[in-house]
Amino acid sequence: MSSVAAYALKGNEGDDAIKSQRVREVMTMGADGAKLVLDWEVPCNNSESNFASVHGDRVDTISKPVVLLVHGMNNDSSFGYIRSMMKTATSRGWVAVCMNLRGQDWMGEVKNTTPRGYNAGFTGDLRGVIQQLEKRLVKRHDDTYIGGPIYLVGYSLGANIITKYLGEESLHGTLPVCVGGGAALGNPLHIHSGTIKFPWNIILAMGVKRSLLQNVGVYAQHRDQGFRHAMMKAMASRTIGQLDDAAAPYILRNESNPPFAPKIGFKDGNEYWYDSSSHRYVAHVSVPLLKVTAKDDFLVFGQFSKKLNHCLENPNVVVVKTRCGGHLGWQESPPPRKDVNGKEIPSGWLSGGTGSWSDVAVADFIEALLEIRREDECTNKGAPPKIVSRL
């Protein structure tokens, strides 16, 4: 039930002192022309209006921290846990944006423009979005940032993607300076769809096949017979493990070295799962990263616990394990409300007014990093923040 609440409920409405403006942007990826939908929530109020400038469907000249969210498998920015975190971020005075993975437009207006869908291991789209957002951050005359930092927050499959991205870039010393840290919630660390049990293996496969059908127009334009056969086999697959194995030769991936160029295909599902597993990269992450998981998470806790040692090897990674919460379901009871006569109004958890403990935990983590950054900037003029030593 907690997981259902996380997916369905939108979270608290937030403080009326800070209103927000929603912006929908379609961003084109330079690598292959794929179009991604970015859903923005930009705080604005009468006392302070310089969070960012909005020009039509583009958010520019960003002068505040940015929280970039990546949703989970078969999800998008309309899901409750995303909306809830975005509200929490804007209530703190930050700019929030959710990157909808390719082909996952919740309004159904922007279809996948390439014959390649998203997957658990391809970090190219996230890399492309960060590169474009970096150019929109306001800078001082000495080329240091006023806007930002950018904090990455990923959920489930999105958590795996941001962890892999941070590890890839950190390993080679190419992580953009504007990226200040991240939070990964419900990350399996070890990707292996063949280990997912009934009925979730079937449910997840149904979600992927639904996404394929929604973008069938672009896939039908692909004339390669091997590709067509693989897609037909994937659509006939019963479980997510069988589907991954069928589609593996045509799954989008990126090189493991800079500039992390996109390439196509794996030998089979096992090679895809191994390449996508973020436990291979988490030890290299060079910025603070919060990992949150629940012991009763029926989808990922088993895989996560087997690879937990890779997180503990890295002093930049903070691991939080909760006793309950299911998969992303850290909902809290809503506060009591009263009518005009002072009588308490009954409010069940389905009322939509509940908040999430994880939202507050992630926001507090980011707040702590910002405070450390401010202190270090005051005491070490021109030097990079000594965040690791202060955690």
Confidence (pLDDT) at 363: 97
For residue 361, what are its two tokens? Answer: 């935990």
Q: What is the amino acid identity at position 126?
A: L
What are the backbone angles phi and psi of residue 81, rounded to the nearest 5°?
-65, -30
Q: What residues are paired with 262 via a beta bridge?
A: 254
Q: Which long-range contacts (CB under 8 A, 24 or more apart) does 231-236 make?
A: 234/208, 234/209, 235/209
Confidence (pLDDT) at 285: 98
Confidence (pLDDT) at 332: 77
Residue reference for tokens 């960012």: 52
Confidence (pLDDT) at 391: 47
Q: Are the C-beta atoms of residues 70 and 161 closer than 8 Å to each other?
A: yes
Confidence (pLDDT) at 333: 62
Confidence (pLDDT) at 330: 92
Residue 309, SS3? Answer: helix
CA distance 281 to 290: 15
pLDDT digits (tens, 9 = 90+) for 360-378: 999 999 999 999 988 887 7
Q: Are the C-beta atoms of residues 359 and 84 closer than 8 Å to each other?
A: yes
Which residues of the chain, if any, have pLDDT below 70? 1-18, 45-50, 333-354, 380-391
CA distance 1 to 110: 32
